[in-house]
């Protein structure tokens, strides 16, 4: 009998863990479509990041809960990790933490406090050829030492969000200086990101400041307002690279857009500019229609025209695709 006691204890422990797990969710998104750009052949590509994720919470009692989230990205046409395997396995998120009356605190990798709300102020939600996100954020890079073009996340970081009070919330992200990506020694400074957000009724707004590991400083203000079936939005940002760039270190970007419910779908439109000091403005105009087949599946088609200020060259792009969430 004694030899079975360890087995019984292990089973009991597993049962306790399973009982304590109050929520475990497997979720994801599949997106694939045809994209045509000027001078290029038609290709099959993603309009949005394809996601497979796992998240869960455990009730610890007394209003305290533990939480985790793991989110990987992949290429739908080949099944490879995103950007042909150039990005981390859990590129989207890799965080664990606690939630309680004090707010939420997490450790790991994820969107910074400034970058997290950005999709709310791009009518294309940073997806498809219509996305304005690079203009909206003045081509700023939160993680310049990462060679995988992961521009809006911190790794090895602490994330804190206060409770929402009257629609207001304060958010902060601080990363360690340990080497990452192409860095072989400690990073020059701790990356820091702070933002304040407001969401109440038809009004949404954010104000944020961030400093990356190269001491590039970034400011952003954005807002949206819902009028009837239309959600109108605008954003302004500036990055200052004077710590590493001596000639024309400042870049400014702005965008305006609208997302309008039209029948079973949404009409989306936006215009944006970005300009580095000493250069002409790059400009982008986008329009699209996303048709809802159900609450989780929609078809989309978009068209965009981007003009490079210095050269005057223009690139036209169109897409047509399908997205399903689960």
Question: What pLDDT score does 221 carry?
Answer: 98
- Three-state secondary-structure class, residue 168: strand
Contact (Cβ atoms closer than 8 angstroms) between residue 286 and residue 304: yes
For residue 2, what pLDDT band results from cuts at 50, 70 and 90?
Answer: very low
Q: State residue 20's pLDDT score.
A: 55
> Is the pLDDT confidence value at 294 over 70?
yes
Place of tokens 């025209």: 305
Is this model's pTM higher than 0.75 or not?
Answer: yes
274, 298 contact by CB (below 8 A): no
For 118-163, write each residue's pLDDT tens digit: 999 999 999 999 999 999 999 999 999 987 667 899 999 999 999 9
Q: What is the pLDDT at residue 4?
A: 40
Q: Could you tell me if 34 and 321 are in contact, meaning their C-beta atoms sit under 8 angstroms apart?
A: yes
Which pLDDT value is given to residue 47?
Answer: 95
Residue pair 123/233 in contact by the 8 Å Cβ criterion: yes
- The DSSP bridge pattern shows strands 297-307 and 282-292 to be antiparallel
CA distance 51 to 25: 13
Place of tokens 């006691």: 5
Q: What is the pLDDT of residues 66-102, one digit of tens each?
A: 999 999 999 988 889 988 777 888 999 999 999 999 9
Report the mean per-residue pLDDT for the chain. 92
pLDDT reported for residue 21: 57
Give per-residue pLDDT as tens, 211-267. 999 999 999 999 999 999 999 999 999 999 999 999 999 999 999 999 999 999 999
- Residues 184-201 have pLDDT tens digits of 899 999 999 999 999 999
């Amino acid at each position: 009998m004694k030899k079975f006691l360890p087995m019984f204890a292990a089973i009991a422990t597993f049962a306790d863990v399973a009982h304590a797990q109050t929520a475990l969710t497997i979720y994801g998104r599949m997106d694939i479509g045809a994209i045509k750009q000027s001078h290029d052949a038609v290709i099959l590509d993603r309009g949005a990041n394809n996601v497979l994720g796992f998240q869960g919470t455990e009730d610890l009692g007394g209003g305290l809960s533990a939480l985790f989230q793991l989110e990987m990205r992949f290429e739908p046409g080949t099944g490879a990790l995103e950007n042909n395997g150039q990005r981390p396995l859990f590129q989207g998120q890799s965080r664990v933490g606690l939630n309680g009356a004090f707010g939420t605190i997490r450790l790991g990798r994820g969107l910074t406090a400034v970058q997290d709300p950005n999709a709310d102020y791009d009518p294309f939600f940073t997806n498809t050829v219509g996305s304005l996100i690079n203009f909206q954020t003045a081509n700023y890079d939160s993680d310049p030492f990462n060679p995988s073009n992961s521009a809006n996340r911190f790794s090895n970081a602490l994330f804190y969000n206060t409770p929402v009070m009257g629609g207001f919330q304060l958010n902060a992200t601080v990363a360690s200086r340990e080497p990452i990506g192409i860095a072989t020694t400690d990073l020059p400074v701790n990356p820091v990101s702070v933002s304040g957000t407001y969401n109440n009724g038809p009004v949404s707004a954010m104000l944020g400041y961030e400093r990356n590991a190269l001491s590039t400083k970034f400011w952003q203000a954005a807002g949206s307002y819902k009028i009837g079936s239309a959600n109108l939005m605008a954003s302004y940002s500036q990055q200052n690279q004077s710590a590493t760039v001596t000639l024309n270190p400042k870049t400014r970007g702005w965008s305006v857009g609208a997302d309008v419910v039209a029948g079973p779908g949404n009409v989306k439109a936006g215009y944006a500019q970005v300009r580095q000091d000493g250069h002409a403005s790059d400009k982008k105009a986008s329009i699209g229609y996303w048709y809802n087949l159900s609450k989780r599946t929609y078809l989309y088609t978009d068209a965009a025209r981007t003009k490079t200020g210095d050269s005057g060259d223009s690139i036209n792009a169109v897409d047509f695709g399908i997205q399903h969430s689960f």
